[in-house]
């Protein structure tokens, strides 16, 4: 399931919703991305996430389908926020549930790696010395690339 | 044709989107970008270096040589930074 | 932090406790292990976890230290339950927080892989046809082995 | 010397632990296991195949050739299945 929203989310409630009543789940992996107070060396006071409504949902749904094709998953949840966030705020939640831990852990890792380069979001950071757009990082490209032929 | 701009492409151009009637010969993304870029000003700054630009046609990622036609929704933006 | 307990835990509260007030955390990875309703092909009605009090805490603390030496982590939490559990019940929580997602994801994966073979727990499953001890799995040994030389 | 048994080792022996006074010559885990195993019955069943047994001495994992002495806490158990 995909949710693109401005509001915060409740990690515990979201995770319980995923596993409740399904006793064939053996493992649930999750990742929560948060706004850090530092961009490189510079302190930041806020981060604004711009996104492409419509395309974002489509891309995330495609990512979910890709994960479900690669691993045997009981459930997948991706929540991605947009709008103005402050350090410590949650940005993204990825949670995957499977009968087996390996499938849950790997697919969760895969999804967050792919989100970094394939989800249409753009981040603007407010620093003391003005606003700056977050650049795509080469490490994120290689992290996504790593999953190209797997499994 | 509906154009959408995001991230610093939007910031440099100064609008988040516009509806255009592309002239003859503008039949793929590359020719569209060249045509917009030739307007100069913010367009030139935003779109001058095509290696820095990513594209979606009708909300699907596409390459610069993707064909486009009247009625399409074309989005131009910097590399995505999701997650 | 290590907790070895009979009671259930609240994933949301535990995770919030880990990140709250620390705005240098960029990513939190977590894994929740649950009792499955199947052991191989056989349905199970309950699972009893026996452990070695004292040694369990020592082993888990050593695992936490090992993870902290390998990755730069802001926080680590391992909760492992013992006693009688039923299908759908939570068994274990591993959560790791770091400035960067890769460290959080890898260390979480590492910890659950090592827990499988290095935490002194033994599982007894109640099936329709009697109780059976869960055997150590070769896959779990290789999963733990994989981390031997990393990173 | 305090002995502890877990998992099916405990189930086969029938007690979860005992305090013993090992005879001369029982100075490492292997000789302890052989001595216990020679008691026969549940001990023989539980400890006959030493490849299936894991060991901790004073709550640290140890090998069969680990030295042991009076006052030690020695635990014998099957491979662990945590997580």
A98-146 pLDDT tens trace: 999 999 999 999 999 999 999 999 999 999 889 999 999 888 989 998 8
Q: What is the mean pLDDT of residues C15-32?
A: 95
Residue from the list A26, A36, A99 with its beta carbon closest to the beta carbon of C99: A36
Q: Looking at residue A151, what is its pLDDT?
A: 60
Q: What is the mean pLDDT of residues A68-88?
A: 98
Residue from the list B56, B59, B78 with its beta carbon closest to the beta carbon of A122: B78
Residues from chain B that touch A91, judged by Cβ atoms under 8 A, are 83
What six digits make up the tokens of C29? Answer: 């990875």
8 Å CB contact between C100 and A116 = no
CA dihedral C137, D74, C50, C28 (to 10 degrees): -70
Q: What is the mean pLDDT of residues D42-46?
A: 97
More confident residue, A62 or A150: A62
In angstroms, the separation between the Cα of residue C139 and the nearest Cα of chain A is 10
Separation CA B29–CA B62 (nearest Å): 9
Residues from chain D that touch C33, judged by Cβ atoms under 8 A, are 83
Crossing angle for the helix pair A55-70 and A101-118, to the nearest 10 degrees: 150
Q: Looking at residue C148, what is its pLDDT?
A: 87
Interchain CB contact of C17 with A (< 8 Å): no
Res. D70: pLDDT tops 70:
yes
Which positions ≥6 away from D48 have C-beta within 8 Å?
Answer: D37
Res. C41: pLDDT tops 70:
yes
Range list of β-strands (E), chain D: 2-5, 17-19, 54-57, 60-62, 73-77
Residue from the list D8, D75, D83 with its beta carbon closest to the beta carbon of C115: D83
**What are residue C150's phi and psi, to 5 degrees?**
-110, 160
Q: What is the mean pLDDT of residues C70-85?
A: 98
Q: Looking at residue A26, what is its pLDDT?
A: 97
Q: Looking at residue A150, what is its pLDDT?
A: 66
Block residue for tokens 């099957």: D78
Does the beta-carbon distance from A121 to B80 stay under 8 Å?
yes
Q: In the structure, what pLDDT confidence band is assigned to residue C150 with cuts at 50, 70 and 90?
A: low
Q: What percent of chain A is modeled with pLDDT above 70?
A: 99
Does the beta-carbon distance from D80 to C136 stay under 8 Å?
yes
Block residue for tokens 């495609």: A62
DSSP SS3 for A17: helix
DSSP SS3 for B40: coil
DSSP SS3 for C71: coil
Separation CA B37–CA C95 (nearest Å): 49
Separation CA C77–CA C60 (nearest Å): 10
Res. C151: pLDDT tops 80:
no
Cis amide leading into C151 (omega within 30): yes
Residues from chain D that touch C145, judged by Cβ atoms under 8 A, are none
Does the beta-carbon distance from C115 to D78 stay under 8 Å?
no
**What is the ipTM, given to two decimal places?**
0.94
Strand partners for A123: A49
Quickly count: other Cβ atoms within 10 Å of residue A142's Cβ.
11
Separation CA D40–CA C128 (nearest Å): 31
User: CB burial class (10 A; 0-12, 13-18, 19+) of residue B4?
Assistant: buried
pLDDT for D11-41, tens place per residue?
999 999 999 999 999 999 999 999 999 999 9
**pTM value > 0.90:** yes
Separation CA B30–CA A24 (nearest Å): 50
Strand partners for D54: D77
With CA atoms as reference, the chain A residue closest to B83 would be A116
Strand partners for C76: C96
Which residue out of C13, C34, C97 would a mutagenesis test of the A interface target, given it has the greatest number of A Cβ atoms within 10 Å?
C34
Range list of β-strands (E), chain A: 2-5, 27-34, 38-39, 42-51, 75-81, 83-85, 90-98, 121-127, 130-133
**What are residue D57's phi and psi, to 5 degrees?**
-115, 120
Q: What is the mean pLDDT of residues A73-86?
A: 98
Separation CA B17–CA B73 (nearest Å): 10
With CA atoms as reference, the chain C residue closest to D82 would be C116
Residues of A engaging B, defined by a Cβ cutoff of 8 Å? 33, 50-52, 54-55, 58-59, 80, 91-92, 112, 115-124, 133-136, 140
Residue from the list C26, C31, C102 with its beta carbon closest to the beta carbon of A101: C31
User: CB burial class (10 A; 0-12, 13-18, 19+) of residue A60?
Assistant: buried
Q: Which of C71, C93, C80, C94 is nearest to C123 (CA)?
A: C80
Coarse DSSP helix, strand, coil percentages of chain A, rounded to the nearest 5 percent:
35, 35, 30
With CA atoms as reference, the chain D residue closest to C79 would be D83
What six digits make up the tokens of B49? Answer: 């270096």
Q: What is the mean pLDDT of residues C102-117?
A: 97
Q: What is the mean pLDDT of residues C93-106?
A: 97
Which residue out of C120, C135, C139, C142 would a mutagenesis test of the D interface target, given it has the greatest number of D Cβ atoms within 10 Å?
C120
Separation CA C14–CA C19 (nearest Å): 9
pLDDT for B7-58, tens place per residue?
999 999 999 999 999 999 999 999 999 999 999 999 999 999 999 999 999 9
Res. D64: pLDDT tops 80:
yes
Instruction: Establish whether chain B is in contact with chain D, requiring a minimum of 3 CB pairs below 8 angstroms.
Output: no
Range list of β-strands (E), B1-83: 2-5, 17-19, 54-57, 60-62, 73-77
In angstroms, the separation between the Cα of residue C55 and the nearest Cα of chain A is 25
Instruction: Establish whether chain C is in contact with chain A, requiring a minimum of 3 CB pairs below 8 angstroms.
Output: yes
């Amino acid at each position: 399931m995909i949710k693109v929203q401005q509001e915060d989310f409740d990690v515990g409630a979201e995770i319980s919703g995923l596993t409740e009543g399904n006793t064939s789940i053996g493992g649930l992996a999750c990742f929560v991305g948060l706004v850090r107070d530092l961009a490189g060396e510079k302190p930041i006071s806020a981060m604004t996430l711009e996104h492409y409504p419509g395309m974002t949902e489509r891309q995330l749904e495609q990512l979910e389908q890709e994960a479900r094709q690669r691993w045997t998953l009981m459930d997948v949840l991706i929540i991605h926020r947009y709008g103005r966030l402050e350090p410590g705020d949650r940005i993204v939640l990825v949670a995957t549930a499977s009968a087996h831990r390996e499938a849950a852990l790997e697919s969760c890792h895969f999804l967050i790696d792919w989100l970094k380069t394939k989800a249409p979001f753009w981040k603007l950071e407010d620093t003391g010395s003005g606003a700056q757009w977050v650049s795509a990082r080469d490490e994120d490209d290689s992290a996504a690339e790593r999953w190209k032929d797997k499994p | 044709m509906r154009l959408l701009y995001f991230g610093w492409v939007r910031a440099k151009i100064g609008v988040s989107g516009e509806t255009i009637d592309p002239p003859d010969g503008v039949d793929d993304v590359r020719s569209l970008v060249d045509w917009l870029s030739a307007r100069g000003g913010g367009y030139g700054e935003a779109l001058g270096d095509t290696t820095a630009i990513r594209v979606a046609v009708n909300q699907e990622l596409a390459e610069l040589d993707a064909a486009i036609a009247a009625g399409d929704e074309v989005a131009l933006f910097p590399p995505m930074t999701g997650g």
